[in-house]
Structure 1
Amino acid sequence: MTIIFLFACFFFLLLLNVPVSFAIGLSTFLYMLTAMDFLPAVTTVAQRMTNGVNTFALLAIPFFILSGQIMAQGGIAKRLINCAMALLGTLPGGLALVNVMSCVFFGALSGSAVAATSAIGSFMVPQMEKAGYDKAFSGAITATASTTGLLIPPSNILIVYAIASGGVSISALFLAGYIPGLLVAFALMLLCYLYAKRKGFTGATRLPFNVALIQIWKAVPSLALIVIAMGGIVSGIFTPTEAGAIAVVYALILAVGVYREVDLKALGNILTKTIETTSIVLFLIATSSALSWLLSYENIPQELSDVMLGISENPIVILLIINLILLVVGAFMDMTPAVLIFTPIFLPIATSLGVDPLQFGIMMVLNLSIGLCTPPVGNILFVSCAVAKTKMEQMIKPMLPLYAAMIIVLILVSAFPTISTALPNLLAP
């Protein structure tokens, strides 16, 4: 009954428009007051919040956030778009394919789906609209394609999952995200191709070979960041945290020294946004850590495990139930608190049935990525609506086949562990 009180407090605070991190912290504290006196409750919550962020691996998050902010304002987006146009622009539905590939490139570099939606969508959606594409479809494809950056490293949410899981290697998790992320991109591009064939959209005029080569070459320095960061991690030269610091230095060299599109004033704004974003993420981690400890203290994961295993001991059935729950959760809760709260609950159940923690992490992130594009709380959906200058209800119809494509990939990731574990088993240090 007291657990019902905990979640009732949490959702009541959300209905009052209290920020998620404060809702988590306050509901945890109020629950603690039902079990102990005021001073021990304050001390316990404070200790658990402090322990939650007292992890060296979390230093990677502000570094990758900063490098992503620099990339977003450093002239990277237009070079990636030009590169994608040179590679795919002449195919049927070339602009839509370029949109997807640009989101994959930019999302992988910035680690932010919101930044990819804004940076790529603000350029590609008007271009697609001029070519005759429906702006709702253009916004929908931008929103869904941007989620690939959450799976393809460097990805902050994969770091958060690694911390929440209590021992999964960040390096291995980064490698695990590549194939599922590219599968999502391929599925979306296939839909774009079929949409273009049905609507009769042709590709752009073929660029002269030397011009196309120049467009690709200009994007190489930006894309080299992925090779440098992941190459160093896989080879064991540096840790993910050190990779984040190197990514910041490299991004600064590109944006300030090479492309010269970030000046001192812009750098100040970038640092301010980085501090704001980092503060939000770390406070979420702190309060969610306190809540996770409380759920563990009350044996909620064990009780839920007994209930679910009472339904079936078939891993496929259990993963199906977990996926359905996460799809609902993702529609109402942001990704970071969802990962922090539900990883300690569902991961022990999955691992008890022989599911690899790497596979489960990728499954969870992919599942919650769908939630980011789903009303009523999908952040990326709101950003995409603003970029495309359209209403959410107009976006729903073109989103449906894109949801289906992402769910098919989710089913494949859930059913076939090799999709997630092949690269880590082959390359992880």
Structure 2
Amino acid sequence: MAVLDPFTLSIVSIVLLCLLGLPIGHAMIASSIFYLMLSGLDMGTAAEQLLNGMFSSYILLAVPLFILAAELMNSGTMTLKLLAFCNAFVGRFPGGLALVNVVQSVIFAGMSGSAIADAAGTGKMMQKMMTEGGKYPPAFAAALTASSAVIGPIIPPSIPIVIYALVSDASIGYLFLAGVVPGLLMGLVQATIILTSARRREFPLEEPVPLRELPRITFYAIPALMMPVVLLGGIYGGATTPTEAAAVAALYALLISAILYRSVSLSSIYDSLLSSARTTASIGMLIAGALVFNYVVTIENIPMGLSGWLGGFDLSPTGFLLIVIAILLALGCILEGTTILLIIVPVFIPTANALGVDLVHFGIVCVVTIMLGLITPPYGLLLFIMTNISGRPLSEIVREVLPFLMSLLVALVLITLVPDISLWLPRLFGYNG
């Protein structure tokens, strides 16, 4: 590759534009147009690729709808009902509030589909609950909240899985199912870390909720707990597509919050719509930039070139997956997860196909790896969010997050080496992979 060939210059321009403060989506669009100009190609192709990709992909509509559902939940009291339910059942154990943090992330994962939504929504509440009265060190509470939030995009619904389905053409329904057991495994390893360190660090015991209160707390939490049932039941019952299910989830969150819990006002609904629109616009511009830049990558024949290069090493499927994990973890330290899913992962898909790697299993491995990048120093977007929420230095939170990160890496290795962890549930519903 020549030092000053158009592709190299387009990569350099992306880096420079990002360093100057331009959002990466805008930088990719500008650099792709720059590449087309240098290559003597029609620069209008950039607009064609953007419009075709954004407006012909029905599945992309699921992204703003899942975001809206999470915003409506946070604006009402659905989240508080879920926290009370979790506390009633696991709060009584050593490190009870820490366990509540993990369990609520597992449950809330079935509603928001976003690690950022989990950390910014229930994460704020958990940080306050855990540090009130000096119960837990603020840095530990922040690290745990960041670590448990990565479960959100693994258990369905999942915005990253929707995006992976877009770039891979794998079944979104089977991908959703494939995330359930790995997500539960990630919650289990985090709970194990909490239980093993609770006595050593003298974490407090919460006052047990009387058994006579459990039916009442469960009753009030049932409407919120039914969200995943409504969502997944519609998809796997054949009544809705994943995109339609996302619309149903948003409507369900609105009706439950407004009518049953009576906890939202017109102004809070407006705020939810506004916040959802802003987040969607940000993600949408990133997707638009990736669609245009992926066209450049295709012109340069990068995926097939990489496939041929990796094929020269005579890799086994497991060896290939381990290399992909290493690359994605390294990139996760410096890049945002959606960018990696849209730009880097598609480059590996032809090789995965050639080696016979199941694309549903491959998708779960990629999404889990990318989510771990959210808590991997030095970038770790969730670490920065929790630094802002907790008011503690990043160095303290990094020190506390390392045991959780190590345990999640163990879970990732198991998910990678044992495909049945991901594929057992989809196969139960008829998947032939």
TM over 0.5: yes
Give the corresponding residue for 2:50.
Answer: 49
Larger deviation: 104-113 or 138-147?
A: 104-113
CA distance in 2, matches of 1:387, 1:287: 30
Show the counterpart of 1:140. Answer: 143
The aligned residue for residue 34 of structure 1 is: 38
2:229 to 206, 227, 230: 227
Are residue 158 (structure 1) and residue 158 (structure 2) matched?
no
- What does residue 86 of structure 1 align with? 88
Q: What residue in structure 1 maps to residue 270 of structure 2?
A: 268
Cα offset, 1:126, TM superposition: 2.9
Pairing 1:195–2:201 present: no
CA distance in 2 between partners of 1:428 and 1:80 (Å): 32
Q: How does 1:300-315 map to 2 (within 5 A)?
A: 300-315=302-317
Listed one character per residue, the Cα deviations across residues 339-373 of structure 1 (whole Å, up to 9, x for unaligned) are 01122201111221111101111111111111111
CA contact (8 A) 1:109 1:223 kept: no
1:336 aligns with 2:334: no
How far apart, CA to CA, are the structure 2 residues paired with 1:245 and 1:291? 30
Whether the aligned pair in 2 keeps the contact of 1:125 and 1:138 (CA below 8 Å) is: yes
Shift of 1:138: 0.8
Structure 2: distance between partners of 1:145 and 1:214: 27
Are the counterparts in 2 of residues 107 and 148 from structure 1 also a CA contact under 8 Å? Answer: yes
Range with bigger deviation, 112-121 or 190-199:
112-121
Question: Within 1, Cα distance between the matches of 2:307 and 2:239?
Answer: 40
**In the superposition, relative to structure 1, how do residues 121 and 356 fare at CA in structure 2: closer, same or farther (>3 Å)?**
same
Cα separation, 1, equivalents of 2:22 and 2:377: 19
Name the CA distance, whole Å, in 2 between partners of 1:378 and 1:263: 35
Specify the SS of the correspondent of 2:332.
helix
More helix by share: 1
CA distance in 1, matches of 2:74, 2:128: 19
Secondary structure of the structure 1 residue equivalent to 2:199: helix
Determine which of 13, 18, 23 is the counterpart of 2:17. Answer: 13
- Pick the aligned partner of 1:256 from 236, 258, 271: 258
CA shift for structure 1 position 179: 0.7
Match of 1:386 in 2: 388
Equivalent residue in structure 2 for 1:109, among 105, 108, 111 = 111
Partner residue, 2:298:
296
Q: CA deviation at 1:202?
A: 4.3
Q: Which amino acid aligns with 1:34?
A: L
Deviation at 1:25, TM superposition (A): 1.1
8 Å CA contact 2:164–2:363 kept in 1: the answer is: yes
Cα distance in structure 2, aligned partners of 1:412 and 1:90? 30
- Correspondence for 1:23 among 27, 30, 37: 27
Aligned equivalents of 1:51, 1:203: Cα separation in 2: 56
TM-score (structure 2 length as normaliser):
0.95
- Residue type matched to 1:251 in 2? A
Q: Residue 96 of structure 1: CA displacement?
A: 0.5
Residue in 2 that maps onto 1:285: 287
Q: What is the distance in 2 between the residues matched to 1:112 and 1:57? A: 16
Distance in structure 1 (CA, Å) of the matches to 2:11 and 2:199 = 49
Q: CA deviation at 1:52?
A: 1.3
Moved more, 290-299 or 219-228: 290-299
**Structure-1 separation of matches of 2:265 and 2:409:** 42
Measure how far apart 1:70 and its partner are: 0.4
Give 1:428 deviation, angstroms. Answer: 5.2
For residues 286-309 of structure 1, the C-alpha deviation after alignment (integer angstroms, 9 at most, x for no partner) is 221111121112111111122222
Structure 2 matches for 1:404-415, cutoff 5 A? 404-415=406-417
Question: Structure 1 residue 417 and structure 2 residue 419: aligned?
Answer: yes
What's the % identity of the aligned pairs?
35
Is contact 1:107–1:149 with CA below 8 Å preserved after alignment?
A: yes
Provide the C-alpha distance between the structure 2 equivalents of 1:23 and 1:283, rounded to a whole number of angstroms.
10
Is the 2:235–2:241 Cα contact (8 Å) retained in structure 1? yes
More moved, 125-134 vs 219-228: 125-134
Equivalent residue letter for 2:272: I
Give distance in 2, aligned partners of 1:170 and 1:103: 22
- Alpha-carbon RMSD across the aligned residues, in angstroms, is 1.5
Contact 1:143 1:384 in 2 (8 A): yes
Q: Which residue of 2 aligns with 1:239?
A: 241
C-alpha distance in 1 between matches for 2:104 and 2:264: 21
Out of 219-228 and 270-279, give the one that drifted further: 270-279
Q: Is 1:426 matched with 2:428? A: yes
Where in structure 2 are the equivalents of 1:110-125 lying within 5 Å? Answer: 110-125=112-127
Note if contact 1:176-1:423 (Cα within 8 Å) is conserved in structure 2: yes
Partners of 1:312 and 1:184 in 2: CA distance: 32
Gap regions ≥5 residues in structure 1: none
Once the 2 structures are TM-superposed, how far is the Cα of residue 46 of structure 1 from its aligned partner? 0.6
Please point out which of 329, 346, 362 is paired with 2:348. Answer: 346
Cα offset, 1:131, TM superposition: 5.0
* TM-score normalised to structure 1 length: 0.96
Q: Which runs of 5+ in 2 are unaligned?
A: none
Structure 2 letter corresponding to 1:14: C
C-alpha distance in 2 between matches for 1:12 and 1:78: 44
